[in-house]
Each structure stands twice: as C-alpha cells, then as structure tokens.
Amino acid sequence: MSKRQVLSALVAAMLCGAAGFWLLTAPAVWHMLRGQTAVAKVSAPRLENGQTLFWAGGCASCHATPDQDDRLRLGGGRALPTPFGTFRVPNLSSDKQDGIGAWSEQAFIRAMREGVSPDGRHYYPAFPFTSYALMGDQDLVDLLAFLKTLPAVPGRIADHDLAFPFSFRRGLGLWKWLNLGSGPYQTQTGQSESWNRGAYLVNGPGHCAECHSPRDVMGGIRTSLRLSGGPDPEGGAGYIPNLTSHDSGLAKWTAEDIAEFLKTGFTPDFDSAGGSMASVIKNMGYLGDADRMGIATYLKSLPPLASNKPAKKAP
C-alpha cells in the first residue's frame, strides 16, 4: 500500500470517527436511543407530594437566590467551584422568561432524566440528573407543579466558567453513555416498603451518592465504592462521610440514630451537623418520620465499604 493510500485510509478513519462522535453525542440522537420522556398515564398533580420531593431533592440548597432569607425564591446564581471549573446554578423559579415557568412536563422530565435542556443542550452533571433519572413520571409531574406555585424571580444567570475541554458540552454525550443509567427506580420485591422508600429517596431525589461517593478522573461516580464517602465535590479540603455500615461510616449508628440526625442534626455523640450538611438537615426536617426512617433503614442495610479518605499526614 502506497503512502498516499495509507494517508487516505487514515483520513477516512478520522472522518468516520468524527462523524460517529458527532452522532453519538447529539442530544437528539441520544434522546431517540435512550430517551424516556413520554409521560405515562398519571393523575392530576399532587402538590403535597411535589413539596415533599422538593425538600427531599434539596432544591432550595442550591437554587435559592443568594444573600436573602427566603429559601423558596429560586432565582439561582450560586457559584459552585469544582476541579473542573466554576458552575453557576440556574434560575429554577416560576418566572416564564428566566426560570422554568413556561416549561412543559415533557421538557422537565427530559431535563431531569436525560440532562438535556428545553433548547436541546446537554446539562453538566453538576446538576445531578444521574440520580433524578430514577424518579417516576408522577413524582416529576408533582414536583414541577409544586415548583410552579413558588414565586417568580426574574434574572438570567451567567454561564459556567469552564476551561477546555470541559467547556465543550457536546462531549457530555459520551459521558452520559458511561454514567447515566436506564431508570426509573424499580421496587425490590424482597425488601420492605420502608426499605424501598428509603432506597428511592437516597438514590433518586435525595441524590446522596453525588456527594458521598468517590469519582473517577472523568467525574463519574465509582459504583463499586458508592456511598463510601468522597472528596468535597466543590474542591474544598474536606471529605464527605462514609454512609455505609463500615467502621469508618455508620457502623455504630442505629437506624433510630440516623433518623433522629436527619430530623434534628444531632449525632449520637451530641455533635451537630455543619457545613453543607446543615442545609440538608433543614430540608430533611420537612419530610415525615416515615420517610426519614425509610432512609435510615436503607442506609443501615448497605454492605460495609472502606472509605478512600486519605490518611492524615504526620505533623
């Protein structure tokens, strides 16, 4: 084979690879192959359930407008510094121009399950759609209905500040093939109703694994170490605790201890939640006792996984 033929073959292979990449990462193609946004038969929106899911999902913790006290004013704007760059939380209020007030149920479900915006762009996984993908149609319809009852807050948020290659959104299509499951949550027949409720809340709307798990170099959760703790996702020096029954996690806590902590923020040793967990406790306080016990029941059932927390250096 001549040099010209080898070069032509290499160019053809590169073009085919580029075309394949472009197709596989296109939100429209990805939606056609993996999308699940068709709304099944659901009842009229249940606002009380939507409110529960709002607090379980911690929406206010990220989307509430900074520097004001009303946690239901979801104008966004909070900056999230990470090793990949700075993400800025969008407006989630009912404002029809700058928020989600004009979104359809299908658009909302696609955003939550597929991480795709109404205008067809990939969302970055700083928005934990990999967890929200487990949520069912009825719950998502209920959540959207509740969000639309909250105050409209005008104001468009600036775009993220990310360096290349992370600023190239199209590449997120490949990331999704590796990290986004099929969802929604399937009830485990061999487990109790309380356990299933807890599993759903922890892994779905609660998105606990997004902070409490280590990640690979591409930012995907390491599934073999899920919920065993991980570095602060915002790039801080802290380490997010292990939630499994390992000695470095919740081995010495009872289910009642966990449920009480989620309600009051006090540990069995009478310490109190701090940092970002304090905001989570505020959210969990709006849940019912049965939901908090379900979360506790599920967490206590997790097999022990050793934390990857780095050992402290000797002074």
Confidence bin at 18 (pLDDT 50/70/90): very low
Question: Residue 26's pLDDT is what?
Answer: 56
Average pLDDT for 40-46: 76
Q: Which of 2-6, 18-22, 35-39 has the lowest mean pLDDT?
A: 18-22
**Looking up tokens 């580029």, which residue turns up?**
18
Report DSSP state, residue 159.
P
Average pLDDT for 169-189: 82
Q: E-assigned strands of 85-243? A: 85-88, 161-162, 230-231, 239-240
Average pLDDT for 279-307: 93
Q: Which of 5-19, 106-120, 133-147, 259-273 has the lowest mean pLDDT?
A: 5-19
Burial 249-278 (b: 16+ CB within 10 A, else e): bbeebebebbbbbbeebeeeeeeebeebbe
Torsion of CA 123, 124, 130, 133, to 10 degrees: -10
Q: Which of 9-18, 186-195, 199-208, 239-248 has the lowest mean pLDDT?
A: 9-18
3-state SS of 229-267 is CEECCCCCCCEECCCCCCCCCCCCCCHHHHHHHHHHCEC
- The pLDDT tens digits for 60-99 are 999 999 988 899 999 998 988 887 888 999 999 999 999 9
Kindly report the pTM of this predicted structure. 0.87
Residue 131 vs residue 84, higher pLDDT = 131
Residue 175 vs residue 32, higher pLDDT = 175
Q: Are 85 and 163 in contact (CB under 8 A)?
A: yes
Q: Point out which residues pair with 122 in neighbouring strands.
A: 116
